[in-house]
Amino acid sequence: LATGVDQVSAGVDTLASAWGDKVQGQTAIDSLVKTLATLNTRFDQRRDLIEKGKRLPPAELASVLQVKAPPPALPKALAGLKLGDALEVEGEDYLTTAQVTYRSGDTRWTSFRLQEQPERWLRLGDPQIGAPALFERVEVAIERPPAPMLTVEGEIFSQAIQANPTVDVTGPGGVRHGTVQAWYLRSGAGNWLLIEDWGDVVQANRGQVIDPDLIKVYPKK
């Protein structure tokens, strides 16, 4: 049920953002209708399973009883990553120079700045992404709220999830506390576009999931 609520909520947010644009609005409506139809079918099958004992093939049974799984646990070295640590990511060397800690309810995740030009961030434990991901700042025209579909260098991203976590930003200037509005968009290739509205500035970062085995950590002495 929680997964279904998240899916419908994201669909409604996308529709609201697309209001006034005929093409994007119709795309958002079609997507929401498809989501609702899928959920209705799943709930009907779940009712039959519970009330009537109707048996289903294993693949369908897994879908009917689907629950939102938490992201897999991070490797110990990544879970303990801190400012000043050095990393090797996909063969490139970095040093963590800033950290953003996000919180939503009981869930906590982090993002570490690895370099400033171009600005790159390593995102860890994000429940929306589900795996470590490397992001890089991109320049794209962004409205408030962002459009449900955005194109970056020919790659089309569609809005999937919206979140409003609290944040602690730690860097050379100390620690700042606040909140951020975040929109997660995804492309057909599985890449991510993260839009964050910090109040005074809106930033866009494009990223992709990284195999944790390709990340080596060298803790600060």
Cis peptide before 118 (omega within 30 of 0): yes
Q: Same domain, yes or no, for 41 and 145? A: no
Look at strands 215-218 and 149-152 and give their pairing.
unpaired
| 221 residues of the chain, pLDDT tens digit each | 444 555 666 666 665 665 666 666 676 676 667 767 766 766 566 566 555 555 555 544 444 445 555 556 677 779 899 999 999 998 899 999 999 999 999 999 999 999 888 899 999 999 999 999 999 999 999 988 899 999 999 999 999 899 999 999 998 888 999 999 999 999 999 999 999 999 999 999 999 999 998 999 999 88
Domain count of the fold of the chain: 2
Rounded to an integer, what distance in angstroms lies between the CA atom of residue 98 and that of residue 78?
Answer: 15
Q: Same domain, yes or no, for 122 and 208? A: yes
Position 70 in a domain: no
Sign of the torsion angle spanned by Cα atoms 182, 188, 190, 191: negative
Position 96 in a domain: yes
At a CB cut-off of 8 Å and minimum separation 6, what does 92 contact? Answer: none
Q: Same domain, yes or no, for 28 and 86? A: no
Q: Encode 77-113: b = buried (16+ Cβ within 10 Å), e = exposed.
A: ebeebeeebebebeeeebebebbbbbeeeeeebbbbb
pTM tops 0.85, yes or no: no
Domain-ending residue, one of 42, 64, 86: 64
Q: Same domain, yes or no, for 202 and 165? A: yes
| Domain assignment of residue 150, given as a range | 76-218
* 38's tokens: 């899928």
How many C-beta neighbours within 10 Å does residue 129 have?
Answer: 21
Q: Same domain, yes or no, for 80 and 49? A: no
